[in-house]
Amino acid sequence: MEGNGEISDTDSGIILHSGSDSPTTHTKDVTTHTRAMKVKHQDLRDRLEICILELKKLCIREAELTGRLSEDYPLLPGEKPPQIRRRIGAAFKLDEQNIPQGAEDSQLSLVDAELALQMKIYEAARKLCEEEQLSKAVRRSRLQQCKREEKKLKQLQETSFQLRLEHGRSSPLPAFNITQQDLGTSDDSSLSDSVVQDEEVTSQSSQPSSGLPYPVETDPPQPAPASSHSSVDGSYMSPSVAKQSLQLNLPQSPLTSLDSKLSSDSSPLYDLPPIQHSPWTESSLDQPYQKSKKSRSSSKTSSPAKTELLPPLETCLAQAGLPVQLSHLRLSRTQSNSTPSTPEMRVHRQLSLRLSSESSFDKDRGRTRGPRRRLTEYAITLPQTPLPPVNLGHHANSEDSNSEHSFTSYNSSPCQESPGDLPKYQCAFPTSSPVSGYGPPAFSPSGFYHNPRHMSSPSIQNTYYNKEMVYPADRDMSPSYYPQQAPCSPNRYEYWYKDTAVPHQRAQRPLPPDVRLTPSAQWDHPQYRSNCLPRQVVNEQLKSWHRRSQLKAPRSRSLDRQGAVRMKNTSARESPCYPNQKYHDQLIQRAALQRAAEDVQGHWVADDGTHYISQV
């Protein structure tokens, strides 16, 4: 029986009241509830409608751009998909970056802007041409339009390119960027290639020294090259390239390409872009890194580390005198011991990786065989000789001056070799021909080591020319001139120098003595320290050195100067106090090594620094 108690049944929503009004309340609640639901329902429907409309519009836009309607298009039952109009015009957007902004040169920027626009126009015209189902007339007219646009494009590109050339080395770059922009995405590779080639050709012909469009690419704002390198760059390579390589960590950067360039002996480096564009290759990272690839990212054992440094050094050869990482590695080619070194020293990268030979070479040194030693010493002609093509003349020259510095210093610490040595020399020489090229040795001053021994044999002629063994038969002088060798990677190679230290005999020696010193700390100076040269000889040598240095481009490497100063001081001295001389030389050597080490460390530290900064 119903009482006053209320029984509420939440499920049914019926509250049993004893009151009389319970049914109405209940109904009201239901109604309210329903109404609320209805309102919500309607709201949702409206929103859905709006969303569908948005989707439709988007689909249409998409279809206009892509040319086809996506399946997402919401279709009511019975509704037909809308007709779409392909809007070519909206298919691209001019990238801001390609439009030079705030350019100092308004003319250039104008041209650039036009160029960017024209590219798009051309692209659009091309796409129009490719549209299917064109009637003949339409197709013909479109083709003509396309050709017109293409011509305009090329003209603009030429203009901009020329403008850029006038404005600096980095000019070819932006043109390339614009050229290649969007062209490669579709099937325009042929066009972009041809355009690129055009640019390249033009650049090469018009400005050989800066014919390096690509390498400069990524860093248009080229920071001023380290001042120490500026002089080096001048003749050697496009400064922009040099800058770029300087910018980048040395191990990185256009080493590979430079390597390949270096190996192609003949052409002067500055005529070709240092970075070759190879076909886009893909390499699996599951394969062990091959040594033949010049560098191996292996552990920090000495040899891999050395090999890693190789390419950079080779690059350095090209750049003559970049203070690449100096490793106390000396790459020397031990033609050494046994076989008489062949006249031609082919420097191959792989060969120069002969660290082991180097070590064996070192061992040899200590050993007795006099002639042998000389042999090896000479043999170390620095593989580099062949390395950098002759055009490294400048740098080599500058290198030479360095060496000469050192040489003179050593000169004063003469090697008074006993006559007995001479004959040895004589036999030694023939074998060591490869030693000296007359090429400019591009070695860093840090690696000086003078072998006085060489100095003495008067009867030995040492005229070495690049890759040639020239023994001027008439030259009875022994002075070891190693005319500059082809510049080799400065830091890494040892240069042997036969010194014209002819103590007693000749005071003549017009030949400029080039002394190459190898930074071999292991070598005993004492071994090579003989006596001092007579002052006359020293003076002669100094004069000749001066003459030579004047011929060469001045090297503004800081290392050089320091070394030079030291050398001068040393050489100015009279007969050497043997111990003093030795000390000095050792000092120099050590300093050189230290510098090398510092360079290396600095280099790596810099890398590490970035490493830390960028790591999260």
Partner 1 sequence: ETLVKLVSQQRIEIQKLRQGNNLILGFSIGGGIDQDPGQNPFSEDKTDKGIYVTRITPGGPADVAGLMMGDKIMQVNGWDMTMVTHDKARKRLTKKNEDVVRLLVTRKSLEEAVKQSMGGFPRP
Residue 79 interacting with partner 1 (CB under 8 A): no
Residue 195 interacting with partner 1 (CB under 8 A): no
Residue 269: Cβ within 10 Å count: 25
* Alpha carbons 419 and 268: distance in angstroms, whole number: 44
Choose which of 12, 266, 281, 368 interacts with partner 1 (CB under 8 A): 281
Binding pattern for the stretch 223-252 against partner 1, x by CB under 8 A and - elsewhere: -------------------------x--xx
- Which stretch in 25-33, 273-281, 447-455, 580-588 sits in contact with partner 1 by CB under 8 A? 273-281
Comparing CA positions, the residue from 218, 302, 310 lying closest to residue 263 is 310
Q: CB 305 → partner 1: shortest distance, Å?
A: 12
Choose which of 132, 286, 368, 474 interacts with partner 1 (CB under 8 A): 286
Residue 199: Cβ within 10 Å count: 22
Using CB atoms within 10 Å of the CB of residue 47, give its burial: 0 to 12 exposed, 13 to 18 middle, 19+ buried.
exposed
Residue 292 interacting with partner 1 (CB under 8 A): no
Please say which residue, 12 or 280, places its beta carbon nearer to partner 1.
280
Please say which residue, 27 or 218, places its beta carbon nearer to partner 1.
218
Please say which residue, 193 or 598, places its beta carbon nearer to partner 1.
193
Q: CB 280 → partner 1: shortest distance, Å?
A: 4
> Are the CB atoms for 325 and 415 separated by under 8 Å?
no
**Interactions with partner 1, residue window 89-148 (CB under 8 A):** 90, 93
Residue 612 interacting with partner 1 (CB under 8 A): yes
Residue 353 interacting with partner 1 (CB under 8 A): no
Give residue for tokens 């012909």.
Answer: 205
Residue 85 interacting with partner 1 (CB under 8 A): no
Q: CB 283 → partner 1: shortest distance, Å?
A: 6
Q: CB 396 → partner 1: shortest distance, Å?
A: 26
For residue 78, give every residue at least 6 positions away whose Cβ sits within 8 Å of its Cβ, in sequence order, or none. Answer: none
Choose which of 12, 101, 284, 368 interacts with partner 1 (CB under 8 A): 284
Size of the site for partner 1 (CB under 8 A): 65
Choose which of 105, 150, 193, 468 interacts with partner 1 (CB under 8 A): 193
* Alpha carbons 191 and 19: distance in angstroms, whole number: 91
Residue 45 interacting with partner 1 (CB under 8 A): no
Residue 432: Cβ within 10 Å count: 32
Residue 33 interacting with partner 1 (CB under 8 A): no
Residue 502: Cβ within 10 Å count: 31
**Interactions with partner 1, residue window 250-269 (CB under 8 A):** 251-257
> Are the CB atoms for 189 and 148 separated by under 8 Å?
no
* Alpha carbons 454 and 499: distance in angstroms, whole number: 6
Residue 575 interacting with partner 1 (CB under 8 A): no
Please say which residue, 151 or 277, places its beta carbon nearer to partner 1.
277
> Are the CB atoms for 327 and 359 separated by under 8 Å?
no
Across-strand partners of 15?
A: 8
> Are the CB atoms for 312 and 250 separated by under 8 Å?
yes
* Alpha carbons 71 and 87: distance in angstroms, whole number: 20
For residue 250, give every residue at least 6 positions away whose Cβ sits within 8 Å of its Cβ, in sequence order, or none. Answer: 312, 315, 316, 322, 324, 325, 603
Q: CB 115 → partner 1: shortest distance, Å?
A: 14
Q: CB 304 → partner 1: shortest distance, Å?
A: 9
- Which stretch in 35-43, 75-83, 111-119, 286-294 sits in contact with partner 1 by CB under 8 A? 286-294
Across-strand partners of 8?
A: 15
Residue 420 interacting with partner 1 (CB under 8 A): no
**Interactions with partner 1, residue window 146-185 (CB under 8 A):** 176-177, 180-185
How far does the chain reach from its first CA to its final CA, in angstroms? 77
The 8-class DSSP code of residue 82 comes to P
Binding pattern for the stretch 543-572 against partner 1, x by CB under 8 A and - elsewhere: ------------------------------
Residue 611 interacting with partner 1 (CB under 8 A): yes
Choose which of 105, 150, 198, 219 interacts with partner 1 (CB under 8 A): 219
Residue 197 interacting with partner 1 (CB under 8 A): no
Please say which residue, 104 or 612, places its beta carbon nearer to partner 1.
612
Angle subtended at Cα 385 by Cα 558 and Cα 378, rounded to the nearest 5 degrees: 95
Residue 47 interacting with partner 1 (CB under 8 A): no
Comparing CA positions, the residue from 407, 365, 348 lying closest to residue 543 is 407
The four Cα atoms 471, 472, 474, 476 give a dihedral, to 10 degrees, of -60
Please say which residue, 80 or 300, places its beta carbon nearer to partner 1.
300
For residue 354, give every residue at least 6 positions away whose Cβ sits within 8 Å of its Cβ, in sequence order, or none. Answer: 331, 332, 333, 334
Across-strand partners of 7?
A: 16
Choose which of 230, 298, 508, 575 interacts with partner 1 (CB under 8 A): 298
Name the site residues for partner 1 (rule: CB under 8 A): 50, 53-54, 57-58, 61, 90, 93, 176-177, 180-185, 189, 192-193, 196, 214-215, 217-219, 248, 251-257, 275-289, 293-300, 308, 607, 610-616
